[in-house]
Amino acid sequence: MQPVQIAEGIWDVGVRDWSIRDFHGYSTDQGTTYNAFLIVDEKITLIDAVKKEFADQLLANIARVLDPKRIDMVVSNHTEMDHSGGLPRLMHAIGETKPVLCSAMGEKHLRLHFGAPLNLQPVQNGATMRLGKRSLTFLETRMLHWPDSMFTYVNEDQILFSSDAFGQHYAGQEKFDDQAGEAIMAFAQKYFANILLLYAPLILKLIDKVTAMGLGIRMICPDHGIVWRTDPGKIISAYARWSRQETANKAVVVYDTMWNSTRQMAEAIVEGLDGAGAAVKPMPLRAFHRSDIMTEVLDARAVVVGSPTLNNGIFPTVADLLCYMKGLKPLNRIGAAFGSYGWSGEAVKQIEVAFKEMNFKTVSPGLRLQYVPGAEAIASCRDFGRRIAEAMAQGQG
């Protein structure tokens, strides 16, 4: 990627990863970027590095602006390997004794990843460092989304380098929000739903804290995707909304099927929901990736999950989805379980156990049907859909 000057003397020298399609279990259909930002001041500073495989490309990009050996220090906002994997190669090229600034937890975690060679220098939360005409302030953002995470803020330019926060897995030609347009919000939403949802309460606190500090934010530069330069308030507002976990009158119907009986049940439940006026999104697991399902769950009031019983348990794809969803901690949802079975039929109850673990209010009992549903059974599925819609309207299971 050609370096892009995002503000006077500040360059994005990061890289695009066109080909990645699986980011630790999250489908990245449009690839991603690993952004890194070069601040050219009296002390030349690089904010974040890139994935190990792209370290030489990062160095080549920096070389298009200045000799990488001129870099005086590196700031590592986050240890995860997509941003720090290239650090050893980078430091070897620019000088291994040069300081790498990080949070106190970052020091510990970078040490655990890379051993001794890096000259790690922890910075205190709120500490400020002068680069020349600019100064940086470091803000710890623990658990957003690793214990080591921090933001770096350029006081004079009012630019926030936000690490993963406000990012998107998107590797288009565009570099800024005004170039990418409204379409980028879907990528930001998917990113939030799959990376940050479980930290929603902490995000609300962080937004309050930053608001109370009165930091002007003219531009937000995340480490993935586009830079928010025209309307950074838009993504901050979206984060506040998503973190409050506000839901719409919408149900996501997720299912898998063995011999089409659970599929027929799902279709009838969708009809029931639709007939009762709820918005409904059918998402068969053979057609939708778990990460796209979570994106829809983000604002869904009801999560309706169907599974046939296989070997006395939940169908594996459904179990995968429930495990993934549980980790991301959606709150205040209504759950409803259904499924066809042959002789034992444990799946529905096991789905309900998963709902309980997620503190979902459950529309109970779940709907179990033996073998192939006939006309009467299909009518009961439509009725189940209507009952879910009623629970949604009342906001309860």
Q: Under a CB-based contact definition with an 8 Å cutoff, are residues 50 and 57 in contact?
A: yes
Q: Which residue is nearest to ligand FEO (CB)?
A: 80
Which is catalytic among the residues 26, 224, 255, 346? 224
Choice from 82, 148, 267, 296 touching ligand FEO (CB under 6 A): 82
The region of 46-54, 74-82, 129-137, 388-396 touching ligand FEO under the rule CB under 6 A is 74-82
Range 118-157, binding ligand FEO (CB under 6 A):
145-146
78 included as an active-site residue = yes
From candidates 12, 107, 164, 267, binder to ligand FEO by CB under 6 A: 164
Contact string 233-262 vs ligand FEO (x = CB under 6 A): ------------------------------
Which residues neighbour 58 within 8 Å (Cβ) at sequence distance 6 or greater?
13, 14, 15, 36, 49, 50, 86, 90
Asked about 224 being catalytic, the answer comes back as yes
* Distance (Å, whole) CA 214 – CA 353: 45
Tell me whether residue 191 is one of the annotated catalytic residues: yes
Nearer to ligand FEO, 83 or 229 (CB): 83
Residue number with CB closer to ligand FEO (17 or 164): 164
Residues shown for the chain: 397
Set 12, 78, 255, 352: catalytic member: 78
Residues 16, 51, 78, 386: which binds ligand FEO (CB under 6 A)?
A: 78
Choice among 145, 153, 223, 346 that is catalytic: 145
Burial state string for 63-95 with b = 16 or more CB within 10 A and e = fewer than 16: eebeebeebebbbbbbbbebbbbbbbbbbebbe
Tell me whether residue 92 is one of the annotated catalytic residues. Answer: no
Asked if 83 is an active-site residue, the reply is no
Count of Cβ atoms closer than 10 Å to residue 137 Cβ: 18
- Contact status, residue 250 vs residue 293, Cβ threshold 8 Å: no
**Whole-number Å distance between alpha carbons of 121 and 104:** 8
Kindly state the tokens that stand for 193. 């739903």
Whole-number CA gyration radius for the chain: 24
Going from the C-alpha of 302 to that of each of 279, 281, 355, the distances in angstroms are 10, 10, 11
Q: Which has the closest alpha carbon to 333: 378, 293, 370?
A: 293
The verdict on 80 binding ligand FEO (CB under 6 A) reads yes
State the Cα–Cα distance between residues 45 and 388, nearest whole angstrom. 55
Give 78 or 386: the residue with its C-beta nearer to ligand FEO: 78
**Residue 164 or 296 with smaller CB distance to ligand FEO:** 164
What span, in angstroms and rounded, lies between the C-alpha atoms of 376 and 383? 11
For the chain, the 3-state helix, strand and coil shares in percent, each to the nearest 5, are: 40, 25, 35
Closest CA to 256 of 287, 301, 210: 287
Closer residue to ligand FEO (CB): 80 or 267: 80
- C-beta of 199 vs 360, nearer to ligand FEO: 199
For residue 23, give both structure tokens: 């980011």
Q: What CA–CA distance (Å, rounded) separates 214 from 341?
A: 58
Q: Which of 17, 164, 256, 299 is flagged as catalytic?
A: 164
Binding footprint of ligand FEO, residue count (CB under 6 A): 9
Provide, rounded to whole angstroms, the least separation between the CB of residue 138 and ligand FEO. Answer: 17
CB of 314 to ligand FEO, least distance (A): 30
Please state, in angstroms and rounded to a whole number, the distance separating the CA atoms of residues 201 and 1: 36
Active-site residue flag, 164: yes
Catalytic residue among 12, 41, 48, 82: 82
The minimum distance between CB 149 and ligand FEO, in angstroms, equals 7
Going residue by residue from 25 to 64, which x/- string records binding to ligand FEO, judged by CB under 6 A?
----------------------------------------
Q: Considering the complex, state which of residue 23 and residue 384 has its C-beta at the smaller distance from ligand FEO.
A: 23
Asked if 26 is an active-site residue, the reply is: no
Alpha-carbon distance of 322 to 358, in angstroms, equals 10
Rule CB under 6 A: choose which of 41, 107, 223, 299 binds ligand FEO: 223
Catalytic residues: 24, 78, 80, 82, 145, 164, 191, 224
Per CB under 6 A, residues contacting ligand FEO are 78, 80, 82-83, 145-146, 164, 223-224
